[in-house]
Amino acid sequence: MLEELNYLIEPLYETLFLTFVPLILAVILGALIGTIIFISGDNGILDVEEKSFLKTVHVVFDALVNIFRSVPYLILLIWLLPITRFLVGSTIGTNAAVPSLTLSATPFFARMVVIAFTEVDKGTIEASKALGAGTLDIIFKVLIPESLPALISSIAVTAINLVSYSTMAGAIGAGGLGFEAYQYGLIRQDPPRMLMATGIIIVIVFIIQIVGDVLSKYVDKR
Amino acid sequence: MIELKNVCKTYHSKDQEIKAVENVSLTIKDHEIFGIVGYSGAGKSTLIRLINGLEKVDAGEIIIDGEDICKLSERNLRQKRQEIAMIFQHFNLLWSRTVLENIAFPLEIAKVHKEERLAKAREMAIQVGLEDKLNVYPSSLSGGQKQRVAIARALVLNPKILLCDEATSALDPKTTEDILDLLKAINRKYHLTIVMITHQMETVQKICHRLAVMKEGKVVESDTVDNIFTSPSHPVTKELIQTVDTGVDVIKLAKELKNKYPDGHLLRVTFDNENSEKPILFEVAKKVDVPINIVSANIKNTQAGALGVMYIHIEERQDIAMLLEELNKNDVVVEVV
Ligand SMILES: Nc1ncnc2c1ncn2[C@@H]1O[C@H](COP(=O)(O)OP(=O)(O)O)[C@@H](O)[C@H]1O
Ligand SMILES: [Mg+2]
């Protein structure tokens, strides 16, 4: 019985790879971009003379995030083919899906970071400044810890988005459970195999959501 | 010593300019508790935030111990802020940190070694009476306890100045009393200069040595607490003192009376020493033939003479124009509520 499921191991591995590798990259890049957008905004965290430079940075990053967030994933995938060839040496296969998946998840996560930071109490930020905190202190000792529950939830949502987008990466031969379901369900008319693959996707999504919720609650001391 | 010289701060919003602080000059001496009072919107918070550079002045100088803080670079200003601590109305603690970690926060910023900072924070927690709450999170504390954490956090770097922005305004009267006692004790023990902002004259009366009264961005009166309470000169000061003497908040009282007497005319009549001796109100009422109903009255005798506020209610159908005119003729301050 179990041996019959062996065929699912490869696609499962591909799905996990296509979810978590871009997730890690997107969380790092998104946090960086989100932080830049937030602190360059009009909240007095950065005390610089050059207000106009700050404003330009804010507007440019904000616009980039909005643009890339609204491009459909499949289009992004195609746009990115030349860069992908340069980065991973090929435009097909599992690795080739990583740049486009990362690029689609990064602006999404960046936006979530901005929202999470915006919800941090302004009074707390002001108090920290009054106690001598600099910009880095505010980012690492105030913004991130105080918005941690929201950040964790955002990581979970981003991961779930990636599970879903990875299905489309099947178009460039990235494999994965989604592609498995599509191939066996639609093309080969094999419903049990399709249902099995779909079921595993659902389980993965549930696990991510539950782990996210539990962790988020655990760090929330409000 | 903190010297403010002709300090101005204007905010520009879309369609208007708000002169939050206008040409304020004050001297706050070392080791004193200095109160700044005024109604909401008077510019008190803006003024106090100029003192630690959270806001930048448009004009004027703020000299702290001989150094104009308006001329400091950001880096030096941050350094300077370690000598100027601050507490707030809503405490502004970090909910993600325990009491001990909150108190240790400024030490962490000042890059003090971990063991040393925890030891200092613990010592400070004991000072403010929180030794049994070290490892709990702020969310499980009462308002008074939260303010104690904030005070400990503010004092842990041994600052020279403590700025308090409505530090007791969110607390009940009993807790307010406790916190004020604590601040008083701290002032004595650490020889700290305390600048205390509040809209409650009572708070000032309890702990301040000197005070300034603000209205619309300007300091309208500034003197020792004794002098101001015995002979207030500005109408705002008189009104604020009235609140203390009667134990009622003038604004709140007016609102309550308005609810109680929704119809008709509700007037607030303010007497001062010149006219409180004579039965002006009754003479005028008789003269213009308007029946009046006194719904609330408080007259207080100070060294400078009687001072009082009276609320009178008049039926809807009566014409009050004549009455107002006559009262004004007699130099009685009267306002329609
Ligand atoms: N950041 C700001 N931007 C625009 N207007 C402000 C700002 N801060 C305060 N004000 C205005 O300045 C005036 C004084 O405010 P504030 O100093 O907070 O008064 P208070 O603390 O006495 O209640 C108010 O009219 C307020 O609306
Ligand atoms: Mg205020």
Enumerate residues 6+ apart whose C-beta is below 8 A from B307: B232, B238, B241, B242, B245, B271, B272, B273, B276, B299, B300, B301
Q: Report how far residue B246's alpha carbon sits from residue B206's, in angstroms, rounded to the nearest whole number.
A: 15
CA angle A123, A126, A127 (to 5 degrees): 85
Most confident of A65-74, B20-29, B249-258, B280-289: B20-29
- Cα dihedral value B108, B113, B114, B119, nearest 10: -100
* Contact assessment for residue B309 and residue B252, using Cβ atoms and an 8 Å cutoff: no
Enumerate residues 6+ apart whose C-beta is below 8 A from B257: B266, B295, B296, B311, B313, B337
Ligand 1 neighbours, Cβ below 6 Å, are B 11, 13, 18, 20, 38, 40-46
Which amino acid is located at B288 in the chain? V
What does the pLDDT look like over B166-206, one tens digit per residue? Answer: 999 989 989 999 999 999 999 999 999 999 999 888 889 88
Confidence bin at A113 (pLDDT 50/70/90): very high
What does the pLDDT look like over B281-304, one tens digit per residue? Answer: 778 888 888 888 888 777 665 544
Centre of ligand 2 to C-alpha A183, Å, is 65
Residue B266: pLDDT over 90? no
Lowest-confidence segment of A45-54, A64-73, A99-108, B93-102 by average pLDDT: A45-54
What does the pLDDT look like over A118-159, one tens digit per residue? Answer: 999 999 999 999 999 999 999 999 999 999 999 999 999 999
B 37-56: CB under 8 A from A: 52, 54
Give the strands of the sheet with B59-64, arranged side by side. B17-28, B2-12, B59-64, B67-68
Q: Where are the beta strands (DSSP E) in chain B?
A: 2-12, 17-28, 33-37, 59-64, 67-68, 84-88, 161-165, 193-198, 210-215, 218-224, 265-271, 293-302, 305-314, 333-336
- Closest atom, ligand 1, to C-alpha of B48: 17
Centre of ligand 2 to C-alpha B42, Å, is 8
Ligand at minimal distance from the CA of B50 is: 1
B 121-150: CB under 8 A from A: 137, 139, 150
Residue A4: pLDDT over 80? no
Q: To the nearest whole angstrom, how far is the Cα of B90 from the nearest Cα of chain A?
A: 8
Confidence bin at B256 (pLDDT 50/70/90): confident
* First and final C-alpha spacing in chain A: 49
Confidence bin at A215 (pLDDT 50/70/90): very high
> Is residue B19 less than 8 Å (CB to CB) from chain A?
no
Kindly state the helix (H) or strand (E) to which residue B150 belongs, with its residue range: helix B143-155
φ and ψ at residue B68, rounded to 5 degrees: -80, 110
- A2-219: CATH architecture: Orthogonal Bundle (1.10)
Protein residue with least CA distance to atom 12, ligand 1: B20
Residue B65: DSSP 8-state: T
**A146/B94 touch (CB, cutoff 8 Å), yes or no:** yes
Residue B30: DSSP 8-state: T
Q: Report how far residue B55's alpha carbon sits from residue B20's, in angstroms, rounded to the nearest whole number.
A: 11
Enumerate residues 6+ apart whose C-beta is below 8 A from A122: A43
Q: What residue of B is the nearest CA neighbor of A128?
A: B106
Q: Where are the beta strands (DSSP E) in B57-160?
A: 59-64, 67-68, 84-88
Kind of pairing, strands B161-165 and B193-198?
parallel
Which amino acid is located at B148 in the chain? R
Residue A93: per-residue pLDDT = 84
- B243-336: CATH architecture: 2-Layer Sandwich (3.30)
- A132-138 long-range contacts, CB within 8 A, separation 24+: A132/B78, A132/B79, A132/B81, A132/B82, A132/B106, A132/B109, A132/B110, A132/B157, A133/B78, A133/B109, A134/B78, A134/B109, A135/A39, A135/A45, A135/A46, A137/B109, A138/A45
Q: Report how far residue B173's alpha carbon sits from residue B192's, in angstroms, rounded to the nearest whole number.
A: 24
Q: What is the DSSP string of chain A?
A: -GGGGGGGHHHHHHHHHHHHHHHHHHHHHHHHHHHHHHHTSSSS-S--S-HHHHHHHHHHHHHHHHHHHHS-HHHHHHHTHHHHHHHHS-SSSHHHHHHHHHHHHHHHHHHHHHHHHHTS-HHHHHHHHHTT--HHHIIIIIIHHHTHHHHHHHHHHHHHHHHHHHHHGGGGT---HHHHHHIIIIIS--HHHHHHHHHHHHHHHHHHHHHHHHHHHHH---
Give, in words, the CATH class of B2-237.
alpha beta
Residue B303: per-residue pLDDT = 46
**A131/B86 touch (CB, cutoff 8 Å), yes or no:** yes
Q: To the nearest whole angstrom, how far is the Cα of B56 from the nearest Cα of chain A?
A: 11
- Cα dihedral value B39, B40, B46, B49, nearest 10: 90
Centre of ligand 1 to C-alpha B41, Å, is 6
Q: To the nearest whole angstrom, how far is the Cα of B134 from the nearest Cα of chain A?
A: 15
Q: Report domain extents, chain A.
A: 2-219
- Measured from the Cβ of residue B135, the count of other Cβ atoms closer than 10 Å reads 9
Residues of A in contact with B157 (CB under 8 A): 131-132
Q: Report domain extents, chain B.
A: 2-237, 243-336
